[in-house]
């Protein structure tokens, strides 16, 4: 196993159980992922407190917290800073910083202190080619059973697109609920993708148009309509 300062450097994989940890956060102690069982959760890291790209990200994410909550998805942040730095930064954000018309934004989701880098190392958030002291912008989407379902990594200089993270959560939930896949740039209401036919007979019946509700351009490329209301009723809270 790869090591950094003689400590193992891990990299979770899609489909793995989310690595467990206990940590102090701006909202008190958490035991991850146990405390989040039954909810989707986005665990994300940022390089450092009091930095501008991170500040724009926190304002944006905090402004969307209710929207993510409607999708039963909680947010948990992390950086390699101490709790007092976190508290001071979040207070400054609320008191002084405006970004794209968003101001007086209170960050109510937990921000983990990780001075020891223990959590960052477990989640492959330290990528030495980028920095040995700052976490990259990592995103882990973890399902209600504590399984890592998606991972996205960005470098220090690149702020994330939070609409894409929301889209990814909705797409994963839709895939689970309806047993389908979602194509490029999919949004609720767009056609979904059926998994390819698993036998010659199934392929034949698909191209002959025998499967009700499917639109098949070829045996392996079949789509289906699921209207937006049907999807949102299933995946969003009332």
- Which helix (H) or strand (E) covers residue 76, if one does? strand 73-79
Going by C-alpha positions, the residue among 64, 86, 52, 76 that lies closest to residue 138 is 76
Q: How far is the CB of 159 from ligand BEZ (least distance, A)?
A: 8
Residues that bind ligand BEZ (CB under 6 A): 47-48, 51-54, 134, 156-157
CB of 56 to ligand BEZ, least distance (A): 8
Quote the least distance from Cβ 236 to ligand BEZ, whole Å.
31
Phi, psi (degrees; rounded to nearest 5) at 4? -135, 125
Residue 122 CB, nearest distance to ligand BEZ (Å)?
A: 21
Task: Please say whether the beta carbons of 167 and 66 come within 8 A.
Answer: no
DSSP letter at 99?
A: B
Choose between 128 and 179: whose C-beta lies nearer to ligand BEZ. Answer: 128
Q: Which is it for the CA torsion 214, 173, 167, 226, positive or negative?
A: positive
For ligand BEZ, the closer CB: 80 or 192: 80
The helix-helix angle for 228-235 and 162-178 (nearest 10°) equals 90
Instruction: Give catalytic residue positions.
Output: 54
- Residue 139 three-state SS: strand
Determine if residue 187 is labeled as part of a ligand binding site. no
- Residue with Cβ nearer ligand BEZ (152 or 156): 156
Residue 25 CB partners (closer than 8 Å, separation 6+): 76, 83, 110, 111, 112, 113
Among 143, 155, 158, 115, smallest CA distance to 42 is for 143
List the binding residues.
137
List the binding residues for substrate.
137
């Amino acid at each position: 196993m790869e090591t950094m300062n003689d400590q193992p450097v891990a990299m979770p994989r899609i489909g793995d159980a989310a690595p467990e940890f206990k940590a102090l956060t701006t909202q008190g102690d958490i035991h991850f992922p146990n405390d989040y069982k039954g909810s989707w959760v986005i665990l994300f890291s940022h390089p450092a407190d009091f930095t501008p790209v991170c500040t724009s990200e926190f304002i944006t994410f905090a402004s969307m917290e209710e929207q993510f909550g409607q999708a039963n998805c909680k947010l948990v942040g992390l950086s390699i800073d101490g709790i007092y730095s976190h508290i001071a930064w979040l207070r400054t954000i609320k008191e002084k910083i405006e970004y794209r018309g968003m101001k007086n934004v209170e960050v109510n989701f937990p921000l983990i202190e990780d001075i020891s880098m223990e959590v960052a190392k477990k989640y492959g958030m330290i990528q030495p080619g980028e920095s040995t002291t700052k976490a990259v912008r990592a995103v882990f989407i973890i399902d209600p059973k504590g399984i890592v379902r998606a991972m996205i990594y960005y470098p220090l200089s690149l702020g994330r697109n939070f609409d894409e993270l929301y889209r990814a959560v909705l797409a994963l939930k839709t895939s689970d609920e309806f047993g389908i896949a979602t194509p490029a740039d999919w949004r609720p209401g767009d056609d979904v993708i059926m998994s390819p036919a698993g036998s010659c007979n199934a392929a034949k019946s698909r191209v002959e148009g025998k499967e009700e509700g499917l639109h098949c351009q070829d045996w392996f490329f079949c789509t289906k309509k699921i209207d937006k209301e049907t999807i949102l009723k299933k995946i969003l809270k009332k």
